[in-house]
Structure 1
Protein backbone atom coordinates (compact mmCIF):
# COMPACT_ATOMS: atom_id res chain seq x y z
CA UNK A 1 0.00 0.00 0.00
CA UNK A 2 1.33 3.44 -0.92
CA UNK A 3 0.23 6.35 1.21
CA UNK A 4 1.52 9.62 2.62
CA UNK A 5 0.01 8.83 6.01
CA UNK A 6 0.99 5.20 6.51
CA UNK A 7 3.03 4.56 9.63
CA UNK A 8 5.98 2.24 9.40
CA UNK A 9 5.65 -0.38 12.09
CA UNK A 10 8.40 -2.92 12.75
CA UNK A 11 7.80 -6.41 11.45
CA UNK A 12 9.69 -9.35 12.89
CA UNK A 13 12.45 -10.58 10.59
CA UNK A 14 12.38 -7.50 8.37
CA UNK A 15 14.53 -4.50 7.55
CA UNK A 16 12.87 -1.07 7.52
CA UNK A 17 14.75 1.56 5.50
CA UNK A 18 13.59 5.16 5.64
CA UNK A 19 15.14 7.31 2.93
CA UNK A 20 14.98 10.95 3.99
CA UNK A 21 15.56 13.63 1.38
CA UNK A 22 17.55 16.51 2.87
CA UNK A 23 15.88 19.82 3.70
CA UNK A 24 15.82 22.93 1.50
CA UNK A 25 19.28 24.36 1.02
CA UNK A 26 21.06 27.61 0.28
CA UNK A 27 23.33 28.23 -2.74
CA UNK A 28 26.37 27.47 -0.53
CA UNK A 29 25.04 23.96 0.16
CA UNK A 30 24.00 24.41 3.78
CA UNK A 31 20.42 24.07 5.03
CA UNK A 32 18.21 27.12 4.79
CA UNK A 33 16.11 28.28 7.75
CA UNK A 34 13.10 26.64 6.06
CA UNK A 35 15.11 23.44 5.51
CA UNK A 36 16.04 23.25 9.20
CA UNK A 37 12.45 23.90 10.25
CA UNK A 38 11.08 21.21 7.90
CA UNK A 39 13.66 18.60 8.94
CA UNK A 40 12.94 19.23 12.65
CA UNK A 41 9.23 18.82 11.91
CA UNK A 42 9.94 15.60 9.99
CA UNK A 43 12.09 14.21 12.85
CA UNK A 44 9.31 14.78 15.35
CA UNK A 45 6.85 12.88 13.13
CA UNK A 46 9.06 9.95 12.13
CA UNK A 47 7.87 6.64 13.46
CA UNK A 48 11.18 4.82 13.43
CA UNK A 49 11.24 1.84 15.75
CA UNK A 50 14.58 2.22 17.50
CA UNK A 51 16.75 3.10 14.49
CA UNK A 52 19.93 1.07 14.53
CA UNK A 53 21.86 3.73 12.65
CA UNK A 54 21.41 6.95 10.72
CA UNK A 55 23.47 7.11 7.54
CA UNK A 56 24.03 10.33 5.64
CA UNK A 57 25.35 11.49 2.33
CA UNK A 58 28.57 13.48 2.50
CA UNK A 59 26.89 16.66 1.19
CA UNK A 60 26.64 19.45 3.75
CA UNK A 61 22.84 19.84 3.52
CA UNK A 62 22.38 16.10 4.05
CA UNK A 63 24.82 16.02 7.00
CA UNK A 64 23.03 18.95 8.65
CA UNK A 65 19.67 17.26 8.07
CA UNK A 66 20.96 13.96 9.49
CA UNK A 67 22.30 15.65 12.61
CA UNK A 68 18.88 17.19 13.28
CA UNK A 69 17.17 13.79 12.85
CA UNK A 70 19.82 12.03 14.95
CA UNK A 71 19.46 14.60 17.72
CA UNK A 72 15.79 13.68 17.98
CA UNK A 73 16.66 9.99 18.52
CA UNK A 74 19.89 10.51 20.46
CA UNK A 75 22.05 8.39 18.17
CA UNK A 76 25.15 9.07 16.08
CA UNK A 77 25.33 9.71 12.35
CA UNK A 78 27.48 7.61 10.00
CA UNK A 79 28.82 9.17 6.78
CA UNK A 80 28.02 6.96 3.79
CA UNK A 81 29.50 7.95 0.40
CA UNK A 82 27.44 5.31 -1.43
CA UNK A 83 24.33 7.47 -0.89
CA UNK A 84 25.99 10.72 -2.00
CA UNK A 85 24.41 13.05 -4.51
CA UNK A 86 24.82 12.18 -8.19
CA UNK A 87 28.05 13.88 -9.30
CA UNK A 88 27.13 16.59 -11.80
CA UNK A 89 28.93 19.59 -13.24
CA UNK A 90 27.28 22.80 -12.15
CA UNK A 91 27.79 24.87 -15.29
CA UNK A 92 24.32 24.20 -16.69
CA UNK A 93 25.56 21.99 -19.54
CA UNK A 94 25.28 18.62 -17.81
CA UNK A 95 23.23 15.86 -19.39
CA UNK A 96 20.51 14.68 -16.94
CA UNK A 97 21.84 11.79 -14.81
CA UNK A 98 19.51 9.10 -16.20
CA UNK A 99 20.61 10.00 -19.75
CA UNK A 100 24.30 9.43 -19.02
CA UNK A 101 24.67 6.03 -20.59
CA UNK A 102 28.27 6.28 -21.79
CA UNK A 103 31.32 8.46 -21.08
CA UNK A 104 30.46 10.43 -24.24
CA UNK A 105 27.34 11.66 -22.42
CA UNK A 106 29.39 13.14 -19.57
CA UNK A 107 31.40 16.26 -18.92
CA UNK A 108 34.39 16.08 -16.59
CA UNK A 109 33.02 15.44 -13.12
CA UNK A 110 29.71 13.93 -14.27
CA UNK A 111 28.79 10.47 -12.99
CA UNK A 112 27.37 7.77 -15.26
CA UNK A 113 23.91 6.56 -14.18
CA UNK A 114 25.12 2.93 -14.14
CA UNK A 115 27.77 3.98 -11.57
CA UNK A 116 25.08 5.58 -9.39
CA UNK A 117 23.01 2.40 -9.61
CA UNK A 118 26.06 0.29 -8.68
CA UNK A 119 27.00 2.28 -5.58
CA UNK A 120 23.40 2.39 -4.31
CA UNK A 121 23.15 -1.36 -4.99
CA UNK A 122 26.36 -1.85 -2.98
CA UNK A 123 24.81 0.10 -0.09
CA UNK A 124 21.65 -2.04 -0.17
CA UNK A 125 23.74 -5.22 -0.36
CA UNK A 126 25.72 -4.04 2.65
CA UNK A 127 22.60 -3.25 4.72
CA UNK A 128 20.57 -6.40 4.17
CA UNK A 129 22.87 -8.89 5.97
CA UNK A 130 23.80 -6.53 8.84
CA UNK A 131 20.89 -7.62 11.01
CA UNK A 132 19.71 -4.03 11.42
CA UNK A 133 15.96 -3.79 11.80
CA UNK A 134 15.49 -0.06 11.26
CA UNK A 135 17.73 2.31 9.31
CA UNK A 136 17.44 5.98 8.36
CA UNK A 137 19.43 7.20 5.34
CA UNK A 138 19.53 10.96 4.66
CA UNK A 139 20.20 11.38 0.97
CA UNK A 140 19.14 12.97 -2.34
CA UNK A 141 16.31 12.53 -4.86
CA UNK A 142 18.55 10.76 -7.40
CA UNK A 143 19.53 8.14 -4.83
CA UNK A 144 15.86 7.61 -3.95
CA UNK A 145 15.17 7.06 -7.68
CA UNK A 146 18.11 4.63 -7.96
CA UNK A 147 16.93 2.71 -4.88
CA UNK A 148 13.48 2.33 -6.49
CA UNK A 149 14.97 1.12 -9.78
CA UNK A 150 17.14 -1.45 -7.99
CA UNK A 151 14.52 -3.01 -5.73
CA UNK A 152 11.78 -3.08 -8.38
CA UNK A 153 13.91 -3.93 -11.41
CA UNK A 154 12.57 -0.86 -13.22
CA UNK A 155 14.47 1.43 -15.56
CA UNK A 156 14.42 5.20 -15.87
CA UNK A 157 12.37 6.00 -12.79
CA UNK A 158 12.11 9.61 -11.72
CA UNK A 159 10.03 10.09 -8.60
CA UNK A 160 8.98 13.46 -7.26
CA UNK A 161 10.63 13.65 -3.85
CA UNK A 162 9.98 16.80 -1.86
CA UNK A 163 12.60 18.35 0.37
CA UNK A 164 12.38 16.94 3.92
CA UNK A 165 10.33 13.92 2.83
CA UNK A 166 10.53 10.23 3.69
CA UNK A 167 10.32 7.20 1.42
CA UNK A 168 9.97 3.99 3.41
CA UNK A 169 10.81 0.47 2.23
CA UNK A 170 10.46 -2.80 4.10
CA UNK A 171 12.28 -6.00 3.17
CA UNK A 172 11.41 -9.36 4.62
CA UNK A 173 14.47 -11.37 5.61
CA UNK A 174 12.42 -14.50 4.98
CA UNK A 175 12.02 -13.86 1.24
CA UNK A 176 14.70 -13.55 -1.40
CA UNK A 177 12.94 -10.70 -3.22
CA UNK A 178 10.63 -9.20 -0.67
CA UNK A 179 10.72 -5.39 -0.91
CA UNK A 180 7.55 -3.46 -0.08
CA UNK A 181 7.12 0.28 -0.65
CA UNK A 182 5.38 1.46 2.53
CA UNK A 183 5.23 5.20 1.79
CA UNK A 184 6.70 7.76 -0.60
CA UNK A 185 7.09 11.52 -0.14
CA UNK A 186 5.72 11.42 3.39
CA UNK A 187 5.99 14.65 5.42
CA UNK A 188 7.51 16.44 2.41
CA UNK A 189 7.89 20.20 2.43
CA UNK A 190 5.31 20.30 -0.36
CA UNK A 191 2.87 18.02 1.48
CA UNK A 192 -0.34 19.51 2.76
Structure 2
Protein backbone atom coordinates (compact mmCIF):
# COMPACT_ATOMS: atom_id res chain seq x y z
CA UNK A 1 0.00 0.00 0.00
CA UNK A 2 1.39 3.34 -1.02
CA UNK A 3 1.43 6.31 1.34
CA UNK A 4 -0.55 9.28 0.10
CA UNK A 5 1.43 12.48 -0.27
CA UNK A 6 0.28 15.41 1.85
CA UNK A 7 -0.39 17.50 -1.25
CA UNK A 8 -2.75 14.83 -2.60
CA UNK A 9 -4.72 14.82 0.65
CA UNK A 10 -4.79 18.61 0.71
CA UNK A 11 -6.04 18.70 -2.89
CA UNK A 12 -8.77 16.17 -2.11
CA UNK A 13 -9.80 18.14 0.96
CA UNK A 14 -10.02 21.35 -1.11
CA UNK A 15 -12.11 19.53 -3.72
CA UNK A 16 -14.53 18.15 -1.10
CA UNK A 17 -14.84 21.54 0.58
CA UNK A 18 -15.30 23.19 -2.79
CA UNK A 19 -18.24 20.91 -3.55
CA UNK A 20 -19.86 21.62 -0.20
CA UNK A 21 -18.95 25.32 -0.02
CA UNK A 22 -22.57 26.37 -0.54
CA UNK A 23 -23.53 24.37 2.57
CA UNK A 24 -21.17 26.32 4.85
CA UNK A 25 -23.73 29.06 5.64
CA UNK A 26 -25.89 26.34 7.20
CA UNK A 27 -23.19 25.76 9.82
CA UNK A 28 -23.14 29.46 10.62
CA UNK A 29 -26.95 29.65 10.76
CA UNK A 30 -27.24 26.78 13.22
CA UNK A 31 -24.20 27.91 15.19
CA UNK A 32 -25.83 31.30 15.68
CA UNK A 33 -29.09 29.60 16.67
CA UNK A 34 -27.32 27.49 19.29
CA UNK A 35 -25.51 30.52 20.72
CA UNK A 36 -28.72 32.56 20.81
CA UNK A 37 -30.51 29.66 22.50
CA UNK A 38 -27.78 29.49 25.14
CA UNK A 39 -28.11 33.22 25.77
CA UNK A 40 -31.88 32.86 26.15
CA UNK A 41 -31.32 29.97 28.59
CA UNK A 42 -29.10 32.30 30.61
CA UNK A 43 -31.56 35.22 30.46
CA UNK A 44 -34.52 33.01 31.36
CA UNK A 45 -33.42 33.35 34.98
CA UNK A 46 -34.75 36.92 35.06
CA UNK A 47 -37.61 36.79 32.53
CA UNK A 48 -39.61 34.12 30.78
CA UNK A 49 -38.17 34.33 27.28
CA UNK A 50 -38.82 30.76 26.18
CA UNK A 51 -40.79 32.06 23.20
CA UNK A 52 -37.52 33.51 21.87
CA UNK A 53 -36.05 30.00 21.64
CA UNK A 54 -39.02 28.94 19.50
CA UNK A 55 -38.63 32.04 17.32
CA UNK A 56 -34.89 31.40 16.90
CA UNK A 57 -35.55 27.80 15.89
CA UNK A 58 -38.19 28.80 13.36
CA UNK A 59 -35.89 31.51 11.98
CA UNK A 60 -33.00 29.05 11.64
CA UNK A 61 -35.22 26.51 9.86
CA UNK A 62 -36.51 29.21 7.49
CA UNK A 63 -32.99 30.48 6.80
CA UNK A 64 -31.85 26.92 6.14
CA UNK A 65 -34.64 26.37 3.64
CA UNK A 66 -33.73 29.62 1.89
CA UNK A 67 -30.08 28.55 1.74
CA UNK A 68 -30.98 25.11 0.38
CA UNK A 69 -33.33 26.72 -2.15
CA UNK A 70 -30.57 29.06 -3.34
CA UNK A 71 -28.21 26.08 -3.50
CA UNK A 72 -30.69 24.29 -5.72
CA UNK A 73 -30.79 27.29 -8.04
CA UNK A 74 -26.98 27.56 -8.11
CA UNK A 75 -26.61 23.91 -9.09
CA UNK A 76 -28.78 24.25 -12.16
CA UNK A 77 -26.81 24.34 -15.38
CA UNK A 78 -27.81 26.35 -18.42
CA UNK A 79 -29.92 23.48 -19.70
CA UNK A 80 -32.03 23.50 -16.52
CA UNK A 81 -30.89 20.13 -15.14
CA UNK A 82 -29.17 19.67 -11.83
CA UNK A 83 -25.45 19.04 -12.18
CA UNK A 84 -23.94 16.11 -10.29
CA UNK A 85 -20.88 17.32 -8.39
CA UNK A 86 -20.75 14.99 -5.43
CA UNK A 87 -20.88 11.55 -7.02
CA UNK A 88 -23.91 10.72 -4.87
CA UNK A 89 -26.51 12.41 -6.99
CA UNK A 90 -27.84 15.78 -5.95
CA UNK A 91 -25.45 17.60 -3.54
CA UNK A 92 -28.34 18.33 -1.16
CA UNK A 93 -28.06 14.64 -0.20
CA UNK A 94 -24.96 15.71 1.75
CA UNK A 95 -27.46 17.10 4.27
CA UNK A 96 -29.33 13.82 4.67
CA UNK A 97 -27.28 12.38 7.59
CA UNK A 98 -27.61 15.63 9.52
CA UNK A 99 -31.34 15.80 8.82
CA UNK A 100 -31.76 12.23 10.03
CA UNK A 101 -29.87 12.98 13.26
CA UNK A 102 -32.01 16.06 13.88
CA UNK A 103 -35.16 14.02 13.24
CA UNK A 104 -33.94 11.30 15.61
CA UNK A 105 -33.31 13.79 18.43
CA UNK A 106 -36.68 15.47 17.79
CA UNK A 107 -38.42 12.08 17.95
CA UNK A 108 -36.63 11.12 21.17
CA UNK A 109 -37.65 14.45 22.71
CA UNK A 110 -41.26 14.13 21.50
CA UNK A 111 -41.80 10.67 22.97
CA UNK A 112 -40.12 11.62 26.23
CA UNK A 113 -37.21 9.22 25.87
CA UNK A 114 -34.79 12.00 26.70
CA UNK A 115 -35.41 14.20 29.71
CA UNK A 116 -35.21 17.96 29.37
CA UNK A 117 -31.93 18.10 31.28
CA UNK A 118 -30.30 15.49 29.03
CA UNK A 119 -31.42 16.95 25.69
CA UNK A 120 -28.49 19.41 25.42
CA UNK A 121 -26.06 16.64 26.32
CA UNK A 122 -27.51 14.38 23.62
CA UNK A 123 -27.33 17.17 21.03
CA UNK A 124 -23.72 17.94 21.96
CA UNK A 125 -22.77 14.24 21.76
CA UNK A 126 -24.30 14.00 18.29
CA UNK A 127 -22.48 17.16 17.19
CA UNK A 128 -19.21 15.81 18.61
CA UNK A 129 -19.63 12.54 16.73
CA UNK A 130 -20.38 14.52 13.56
CA UNK A 131 -17.19 16.54 13.99
CA UNK A 132 -15.13 13.39 14.41
CA UNK A 133 -16.75 11.86 11.32
CA UNK A 134 -16.05 14.97 9.26
CA UNK A 135 -12.56 15.08 10.72
CA UNK A 136 -11.80 11.64 9.35
CA UNK A 137 -12.33 13.07 5.87
CA UNK A 138 -11.09 16.62 6.23
CA UNK A 139 -8.37 16.63 8.86
CA UNK A 140 -7.34 16.37 12.47
CA UNK A 141 -8.62 19.74 13.68
CA UNK A 142 -12.18 18.48 13.32
CA UNK A 143 -11.32 15.28 15.17
CA UNK A 144 -9.82 17.34 17.99
CA UNK A 145 -12.84 19.63 18.02
CA UNK A 146 -15.15 16.60 18.22
CA UNK A 147 -13.13 14.98 21.01
CA UNK A 148 -13.09 18.25 22.96
CA UNK A 149 -16.85 18.65 22.62
CA UNK A 150 -17.39 14.99 23.57
CA UNK A 151 -15.27 15.40 26.72
CA UNK A 152 -17.06 18.64 27.60
CA UNK A 153 -20.42 16.92 27.12
CA UNK A 154 -19.38 14.05 29.36
CA UNK A 155 -18.16 16.40 32.09
CA UNK A 156 -21.31 18.54 31.88
CA UNK A 157 -23.53 15.45 31.88
CA UNK A 158 -21.93 13.97 34.98
CA UNK A 159 -21.10 16.94 37.18
CA UNK A 160 -22.87 20.06 35.89
CA UNK A 161 -26.12 18.84 34.36
CA UNK A 162 -28.11 21.90 35.39
CA UNK A 163 -25.80 24.19 33.41
CA UNK A 164 -25.52 21.92 30.39
CA UNK A 165 -28.10 23.80 28.31
CA UNK A 166 -26.19 27.07 28.57
CA UNK A 167 -22.65 25.71 28.27
CA UNK A 168 -23.17 22.97 25.67
CA UNK A 169 -25.45 25.00 23.42
CA UNK A 170 -23.05 27.93 23.63
CA UNK A 171 -19.94 25.87 22.99
CA UNK A 172 -21.68 23.83 20.30
CA UNK A 173 -22.71 27.01 18.51
CA UNK A 174 -19.22 28.46 18.79
CA UNK A 175 -17.73 25.24 17.44
CA UNK A 176 -20.10 25.32 14.46
CA UNK A 177 -19.09 28.90 13.66
CA UNK A 178 -15.39 28.07 14.11
CA UNK A 179 -15.76 25.07 11.82
CA UNK A 180 -17.38 27.31 9.21
CA UNK A 181 -14.39 29.65 9.43
CA UNK A 182 -11.92 26.74 9.19
CA UNK A 183 -13.63 25.29 6.14
CA UNK A 184 -13.78 28.69 4.41
CA UNK A 185 -10.07 29.19 5.11
CA UNK A 186 -9.13 25.73 3.89
CA UNK A 187 -11.06 26.12 0.65
CA UNK A 188 -9.03 29.15 -0.43
Provide TM-score, normalisation by structure 2.
0.32
In terms of fraction of residues, the more strand-rich structure is 1
Tell which structure's C-alpha radius of gyration is larger. Answer: 2
Provide TM-score, normalisation by structure 1.
0.32
